[in-house]
């Protein structure tokens, strides 16, 4: 059985992945009716993922990658990424996609050490100056070895025998070497990031830091030095939803996390995530998840008790 120390579909920025001295953690991610997508986000850690069931569309630095059961993904540090179901008919399914992910910071591998490994490889990977394979499917030349690394990481994380931290580091080194050996076109030059991605990161960071407060389109457009009209078009083009929809989406995801904790009332949660009107919070929650917050708490309590 997998050792899951957390279960967080969004794996949002601001979360401490693993311990300070061992920044490595395993996650089980499920896209289903309750969590139908992973909102756009980024963090300093890298991700190594296996799609275990179903399929979906990943967006990494605004580029689309369709993935399916059996595919492996490597998401470099600082990569803006999100995931959504890959077809409309999938909405009739209870689960769209299930994956297993290892999240790790390059500090674990010694990026802050002044040696040739850090200077030649780790720092360029952190800064996205090395092009690495993103999706490694069964037809990829490195697939079998990469899958073996993933399976060994699962086994090591499950058993946690004496010295398992050393084994984890050795396997992550092996993964990076494997990916470096199979760079697309064998180039060492930095990939061209889509225009506007830094602006999008700035906006998403602002929303993440200020979501409990009132946020206006005027504030965000001024942050980007855009007109209100241009900003709304710019945001919708890059994120796939309006800015208001994204803010509501983010607030509701935060509300779900608090409801699952069960330590606050629905009114307290509504206020803490930025909804000053409880009725509006109920309507927004019902529209997104198909149930009321009260019903969600009841079902979550039932499932927890059963588990």
Concatenated DSSP letters for the chain? ----SB--SS--TT---SBTTB-EEEEEEEEESSS--EEEE--SSEEEEEEEEEEEEEEETTEEEEEETT-EEEE-TT--EEEE-S-GGGGGSSEEEEEEEEEE-GGGGTTTS-SHHIIIIIHHHHTT-S---SEE-TTSTTHHHHHHHHHHHHHHHHH--TTHHHHHHHHHHHHHHHHHHT-GGG--SPPPPPTTHHHHHHHHHHHHHHTTS---HHHHHHHHT--HHHHHHHHHHHHSS-HHHHHHHHHHHHHHHHHHHT-S-HHHHHHHTT---HHHHHHHHHHHHSS-HHHHHHHHHHHHHH-
Q: Are residues 208 and 182 part of one domain?
A: no
Q: Are residues 140 and 101 part of one domain?
A: yes
Q: Classify residue 132: in a domain, yes or no.
A: yes
Q: Are residues 259 and 110 part of one domain?
A: no
pLDDT of 13 above 80: no
- Find which of 142-146, 206-210, 225-229, 255-259 is predicted with most confidence, using mean pLDDT: 142-146
Q: Give the confidence band of 187 by pLDDT, cuts at 50, 70, 90.
A: very low
- Closest of 192, 183, 176 to residue 118, by C-alpha: 176
Domain extent for 265 = 197-306
- Closest of 14, 4, 8 to residue 42, by C-alpha: 14
Check which CATH number belongs to the domain holding 289 and give it. Answer: 1.10.10.60
d(CA 76, CA 215): 30
pLDDT of 190 above 60: no
pLDDT of 159 above 50: yes
Q: Give the confidence band of 93 by pLDDT, cuts at 50, 70, 90.
A: low
Q: Are residues 158 and 240 part of one domain?
A: no
Q: Are residues 177 and 201 part of one domain?
A: no
pLDDT, position 143:
95
- Closest of 43, 83, 34 to residue 60, by C-alpha: 83
- Find which of 2-6, 22-26, 202-206 is predicted with most confidence, using mean pLDDT: 22-26
| Mean pLDDT on 197-217 | 88
Q: Are residues 159 and 226 part of one domain?
A: no
pLDDT of 265 above 90: yes
Q: Are residues 160 and 206 part of one domain?
A: no
Q: Are residues 176 and 211 part of one domain?
A: no
Check which CATH number belongs to the domain holding 172 and give it. Answer: 2.60.120.280
Q: Give the confidence band of 38 by pLDDT, cuts at 50, 70, 90.
A: confident
Domain boundary pick from 186, 216, 240: 186
Q: Classify residue 116: in a domain, yes or no.
A: yes
Q: Classify residue 15: in a domain, yes or no.
A: no
pLDDT, position 31:
87
**Residue 121, both tokens:** 């490889």
Q: Classify residue 100: in a domain, yes or no.
A: yes
pLDDT, position 307:
37
Domain boundary pick from 136, 154, 186: 186
Q: Classify residue 134: in a domain, yes or no.
A: yes
Q: Are residues 36 and 170 part of one domain?
A: yes
The number of folded domains in the chain is 2
- Find which of 12-21, 40-49, 118-127, 184-193 is predicted with most confidence, using mean pLDDT: 40-49
Give Rg (Cα) of the chain: 20
Domain boundary pick from 154, 186, 218: 186
More confident residue, 181 or 12: 181
Could you read off the pLDDT of 237-246 as tens digits, one per residue?
A: 777 678 998 8
pLDDT, position 179:
93
pLDDT, position 217:
93
Q: Classify residue 107: in a domain, yes or no.
A: yes
Q: Give the confidence band of 34 by pLDDT, cuts at 50, 70, 90.
A: confident
Q: Classify residue 215: in a domain, yes or no.
A: yes
pTM above 0.75, yes or no: no
pLDDT, position 53:
92
Q: Are residues 67 and 168 part of one domain?
A: yes
Q: Are residues 209 and 121 part of one domain?
A: no
Q: Give the confidence band of 42 by pLDDT, cuts at 50, 70, 90.
A: confident
Q: Are residues 151 and 216 part of one domain?
A: no
More confident residue, 124 or 138: 138
Q: Classify residue 282: in a domain, yes or no.
A: yes
């Amino acid at each position: 059985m997998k050792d899951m120390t957390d279960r967080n579909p969004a794996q949002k920025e601001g979360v401490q992945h693993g311990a300070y001295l061992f920044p490595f953690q395993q996650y089980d991610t499920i896209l289903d009716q309750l969590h139908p997508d992973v909102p756009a986000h980024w963090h300093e850690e890298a991700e190594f993922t296996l799609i275990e069931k179903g399929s979906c569309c990943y967006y990494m630095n605004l580029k689309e990658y369709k993935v399916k059961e059996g595919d492996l993904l490597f998401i470099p540090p600082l990569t803006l990424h999100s995931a959504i179901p890959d077809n409309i008919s999938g909405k009739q399914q209870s689960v769209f996609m299930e994956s297993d992910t290892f999240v790790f910071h390059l500090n674990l591998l010694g990026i802050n050490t002044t040696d040739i490994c850090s200077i030649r490889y780790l720092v360029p990977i952190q800064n996205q100056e090395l092009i690495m394979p993103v999706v490694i499917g069964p037809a990829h030349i490195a697939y079998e070895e990469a899958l073996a690394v993933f399976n060994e990481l699962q086994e090591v994380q499950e058993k946690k025998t004496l010295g398992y931290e050393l084994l984890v580091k050795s396997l992550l080194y092996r993964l990076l070497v494997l990916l470096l050996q199979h760079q697309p076109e064998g180039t060492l030059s930095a990939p061209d990031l889509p225009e506007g991605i830094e602006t999008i990161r700035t906006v998403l960071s602002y929303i993440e830091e200020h979501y409990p407060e009132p946020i206006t389109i005027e504030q965000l457009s001024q942050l980007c030095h855009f007109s209100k009209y241009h900003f709304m078009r710019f945001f919708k083009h890059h994120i796939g939803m309006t800015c208001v929809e994204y803010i509501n989406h983010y607030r509701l995801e935060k509300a779900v996390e608090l409801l699952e904790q069960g330590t606050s009332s629905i009114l307290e949660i509504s206020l803490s995530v930025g909804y000053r009107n409880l009725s509006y919070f109920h309507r927004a929650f019902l529209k997104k998840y198909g149930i009321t917050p009260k019903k969600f708490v009841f079902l979550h309590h039932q499932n927890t008790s059963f588990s």
